[in-house]
Structure 1
Amino acid sequence: MDRQPHLEGDLVALRPLQPDDWDALFAIASQREIWAMHPAHNRWQEPVFRAFFADALAQGGALAVIARASGALIGSSRFQGYDPAAGGSLEIGWTFLGQAYWGRGYNREMKRLMLAHAFTSVERVDFHVGEGNWRSRRALANIGAWLDESRTEDVDVPGIGTVRHLFYVIDRAGFAGGPLAA
């Protein structure tokens, strides 16, 4: 599966994240409100975000999110954890957008593009989200993801402590019949 595709919708284009995206992406990530509900709520700080950015590049599945109307970089997301066993699965996550793009269809379109791409190769997509991150949990429910109550994970978040994470899931059939179906 190609984890760094070029994808395009009406509002956004997605392309592989590059090292020279640092300045533009950190300018967005330094908006503290983006991280207020996130388990790593200190990610707006440069050293913390620098580690996040380096990991994104090292993992190989990171995408830059570009607003098509302006050509501006407005956020990032990732494909990670690809597992070809049992029909295949992978995780979509590490997503953030600048506040100016919240609630305007950008995240929805980005997720639709990413899910449509993923379901050409896998049967299931997982989303790993902090238990207290109601903004992301609501956004996942709005795109048709369901909470897998049988799975949780306690994650050590550097500089924060242990945070309970939940798993939301969309499978191929759920996507085809869900709110993001084309």
Structure 2
Amino acid sequence: MFKNSFDPQPEMMDDTLSIRPLMREDIEELFSAASNPEIWAGHPAEDRYKREKFEPYFVSLLESRAALAVIDRRLSQIIGCSRYYVSPDQHDSVSIGFTFLNHAYWGGETNFHLKRLMLEHAFKSFPEVWFHIAPTNIRSQKATAKLGAEHAYNATLDLSGSPAVWMCFRLSKDAWNRVLTSKNA
């Protein structure tokens, strides 16, 4: 699994979000956050907004023992999830993915807040973080580039049960620190 005794399910928070391990009893709230078809447009699992498609995905998140519930602190409501995982072709690294946010949280700073928390935790143990994005998922490609990640290569990887082509983005700790410095300037 993870090297360095990395904790893939930390509890973290900032002024707007809290993140904690995903639990079985979160299914209704997380499904509510995931039930808009726009969330999954451009995603390989474009029908995941349907209950019968979402439930197996939810079970896989729980079984990963690395999934995190993302909570709007103001509303005390689950608004999405994300997880850490080890890439099949980068065994000594950490990846962040399987992320979605309720459509109402698009276009603002929520994804940046989420990734900032997760990246700060990951960079305590790893010098770089990987992101794997479907070639059709332009929205996620743009969001990942805003974090300072660069497209390194494409690869056929089995990330969720069947091999597929993924765009592999790498974010170094130095590149992330430059993004943070420019945001704080």
The normalised TM-score by structure 2 is: 0.87
Map of 1:32 onto structure 2: 37
Is 1:152 the equivalent of 2:148?
A: no
Map of 1:45 onto structure 2: 50
1:18 counterpart (5, 23, 33): 23
1:90 counterpart (81, 90, 94): 94
Q: Percent identity?
A: 36
2:74 counterpart (69, 77, 86): 69
> What RMSD over aligned residues (CA atoms) do the two structures have, in Å?
2.4
Map of 1:105 onto structure 2: 109
Cα offset for 1:10?
1.5
**Number of aligned residue pairs:** 177
Contact 1:152 1:164 in 2 (8 A): yes
Map of 1:78 onto structure 2: 83
Give the SS at the match of 2:129: strand
Which ranges in structure 2 are unaligned for 5 or more consecutive residues? 1-5
Map of 1:117 onto structure 2: 121
Map of 1:54 onto structure 2: 59
Q: Runs ≥4 in structure 1, deviation > 3 angstroms?
A: 154-158, 179-182
Instruction: Work out the CA distance in 1 between the residues paired with 2:41 and 2:158.
Output: 18
Which ranges in structure 1 are unaligned for 5 or more consecutive residues? none
Cα offset for 1:32?
0.6
Contact 2:156 2:163 in 1 (8 A): no
Map of 2:3 onto structure 1: none
Instruction: Work out the CA distance in 2 between the residues paired with 1:11 and 1:156.
Output: 30
Instruction: Work out the CA distance in 2 between the residues paired with 1:163 and 1:61.
Output: 21
Instruction: Work out the CA distance in 2 between the residues paired with 1:61 and 1:156.
Output: 14
Cα offset for 1:164?
2.5
Instruction: Work out the CA distance in 2 between the residues paired with 1:51 and 1:20.
Output: 15
Instruction: Work out the CA distance in 2 between the residues paired with 1:65 and 1:156.
Output: 21
